[in-house]
A and B are shown apart, each in its own frame.
Chain A
Amino acid sequence: MKRQYPMILTFVFGLIGFILRFSPILNEKYLNDLLSWTMAIAAFAVVIAVISLVKHHAEKIRRKHKDMIYSFVTFIGLIVMALVGILGHYMPGSIWKSIFDNLYKYVRTPLDATMFSLLAFYISSAAYRAFRARTWHATALLISGFIVMIGRVAFGPLMIFADITNWIMLIPTTAVMRAIMIGVGLGITATSIKIILGIETSYLGGGEK
């Protein structure tokens, strides 16, 4: 009951999903309803995200961790954003909507963009370490990376780098990405079949039978 029934459900719904793709009549009739239904179920997975976050920070506060003050910041951020967003959804012209928009524009967006831009500094230091390994692989990687970096902002006499960048993006990069894509496609297909047939069960987690 704890593992067998979920595996049977996976098999049944896997078959339904597979057949729906190949039957235009069933597809037209039931696809939207079934997609909405599974999306509605999947939407509740957000609850797991909230539970994990709350559990982690509640534990920090309970243990009086030295950084517990920041856990309160996370809680405040979560509660304010969720409440203001939902209130703003029901009252479109209200102050809640305006606060939600400002929270998104002036808090979430800058934080998101800055976090990702911070990675530029770390990938440079990682690249430096990688390029110190004096092999021809690292040299090819370095030269290609350098050309593309210059090529993306090329001007005047440096435009030659833009042309070489185009060539690199169109031929070697496309060839590699295409081969990877084919491998990924075959991998997804094989894994999906394994999941439906109950060979791959890691998504159910460990624990009791």
Chain B
Amino acid sequence: MGTILWSTFAVFLTLSIFSFLIKDNPFYKFAEHLFAGISVGYLVVITFTQIFIPRVWKPLMNSIDTGNILRSAFLIIGVFIGLLYLSRASNKYSWLSRYPISIVVGFGSGFAIAPSLNARVLKQLHSTVVEDGQSLLNIQKIIAFFRDPSFSSLYNATYGPLLVIGVLVVLIYFFFSFKNDNPVIKYTRTPALLYMMVGFGAAFGYTFMARISLFVDRMNFILNRWWPLIQNKLM
């Protein structure tokens, strides 16, 4: 019985959200406000159970038990600094919240420099030059295409050059977006735009289909999971 009630409530919420497609209405507002409350409540639970307890409370209790005063003090200071976030509630003392923010932002910034450069710049540049130990601009693949023309060899021959050219022209487009008469910058604009439009179109199509999958999943829930439950109960 419990499953039927919960499932029926889920169906009610699903339809309430979809009712917004007709127009804004009380059912949608109810579901929307419930979503906000439930999501923040869930965030509180996750933060409490996954971060506060295992990373602060338990280590603090352990260090108190083992008499490690330095570590206990370190954790207590952390909690105290974290509690300064509460000063946001006061207009007069809200500046105190800058202390925890500055520590988190500062540490995060310093900590992010090396991995960000490595993963987002160096590795991407490396993959644009070499893939699977082979140069992307491999003349042998182009020769192979002329020796044995086929779709497969055409794909192999053009894959690397098209990728390298794409990365270069889009980078040039981004970094020299101001008006410029330099021929390299001028004549790479159109190919860069073509690459970007095709790429963004693909990203759009991909995102759209992901959203449609969610829609199909909701319909599947209503028609293939909830409705049979109701039918079984009624018969």
As a 0/1 sequence over residues 176 to 188 of chain A, the CB contacts with chain B under 8 angstroms (1 = contact) are 1111111111101
Alpha-carbon distance A201/B47, docked complex (angstroms): 27
Main secondary structure on B side of the interface with A = helix
The reply on A133 being an interface residue by CB < 8 A is no
Task: State whether A179 and B109 are in contact (beta carbons under 8 Å apart), knowing that A152-B209, A185-B119 are contacts in the complex.
Answer: no
As a 0/1 sequence over residues 97 to 139 of chain A, the CB contacts with chain B under 8 angstroms (1 = contact) are 0001011111110111111111111011001000000000110
List, in ascending order, chain B residues with CB within 8 A of A77's CB: 33-38, 41
As a 0/1 sequence over residues 36 to 66 of chain B, the CB contacts with chain A under 8 angstroms (1 = contact) are 1111111111011101110110010000000
CB nearest neighbor in A for B36: A74
The reply on B124 being an interface residue by CB < 8 A is yes
A49–chain B nearest beta-carbon distance, Å: 6
Q: Are B203 and A173 in contact (CB under 8 A)?
A: yes
B-contacting residues, A62-118, CB 8 Å? 67, 70-71, 73-82, 85-86, 89, 100, 102-108, 110-118
- Tier of interface size on chain A: 35 or more
Task: State whether A176 and B104 are in contact (beta carbons under 8 Å apart), knowing that A53-B40, A120-B215 are contacts in the complex.
Answer: no
Q: Are A120 and B74 in contact (CB under 8 A)?
A: no
Q: Are B207 and A123 in contact (CB under 8 A)?
A: yes
Task: State whether A145 and B201 are in contact (beta carbons under 8 Å apart), knowing that A118-B20, A176-B166 are contacts in the complex.
Answer: yes
- Tier of interface size on chain B: 35 or more
The reply on A15 being an interface residue by CB < 8 A is yes
Known: A70-B29, A77-B37, A204-B102. 4 other contacts (CB 8 A): A49-B40, A144-B198, A149-B205, A182-B120
Binding site for A on B (CB under 8 A): 2, 6-7, 9-11, 13-14, 17-18, 20-21, 29-45, 47-49, 51-53, 55-56, 59, 71, 74-75, 78-79, 81-83, 85-86, 88-89, 94-95, 97-117, 119-121, 124-125, 127-128, 155, 159, 162-163, 165-167, 170-171, 174-175, 193-209, 211-212, 214-215, 217-218, 221
Binding site for B on A (CB under 8 A): 2-3, 5-7, 9-22, 33-34, 36-51, 53, 55, 67, 70-71, 73-82, 85-86, 89, 100, 102-108, 110-121, 123-124, 127, 137-138, 140-149, 151-153, 165, 167-186, 188-189, 191-193, 195-196, 203-205, 207-208
